[in-house]
Amino acid sequence: MSDSNFFQFEAEFIDSMHCIPMIVRMKLDTCGVKLKLTHWGKFELSERQTLIEMPCQTTEEAIKYKEFLQNLILQKTGDTAKELAIAPNPPWLDEQAIPETLQSKATEFQVEFLLTQWQDLTPLQRFALIKLSSPSHESKNFLPALKEFKITT
């Protein structure tokens, strides 16, 4: 697997692939599929690699990704995954506004997060920070991600 697909803060679980990496999680949000960790665990390493590398940016790519993923889940489990609403303007693509939950989480860690820093991030980096700052997510990787993305030292 290419290290360029993953973040340093994901290193502890990337080799075993027992967690869904951020690059796949962003694609799930893009195509509107709720992939469970139990589903992910049933996939072969080559199938996981396909999900990591398969494009999912345009509407057409997202449709193909969803179809591939749902077929894969059906093959492995006999059922399909729950489908989710797709945000028409996902916050990780908005370079003009840092999401409030992210700004609050940064403040909690005494980190000043500037709009120019947000704008310098890739969409995948923004996505990761949004996910890591979510109230429902354990935040142990939030500060390592901020450091990796050079938001703080």
Check residue 19 and give its pLDDT. 85
Domain carrying residue 113: 91-148
Do the bridges between strand 82-83 and strand 33-34 make them parallel or antiparallel, or are there none, so unpaired? antiparallel
Whether residue 153 lies inside any domain: the answer is no
Per-10-residue mean pLDDT, the chain, length 153: 71 74 96 95 93 95 98 96 94 96 94 96 96 84 94 88
**Bridge partners, 34 (sequence order):** 82
Number of domain units in the chain: 2
Together in a domain, 43 and 26: yes
Q: Which residues pair with 33 in a beta bridge?
A: 83
Number of DSSP helices (H) and strands (E) in the chain, helices first = 9, 2
- Tell whether 14 and 64 lie within a shared domain: yes
Look at residue 9 in the predicted model and tell me its pLDDT: 87
- 127 and 101: one domain? yes
pLDDT of residue 4: 61
* Whole-number Å distance between alpha carbons of 42 and 36: 10
- On whether the CB atoms of residues 64 and 78 are closer than 8 A, the answer is no
What's the CA angle centered on 50, arms 133 and 38, to 5 degrees? Answer: 60
Instruction: Report residue 82: phi and psi, to 5°.
Output: -65, 140
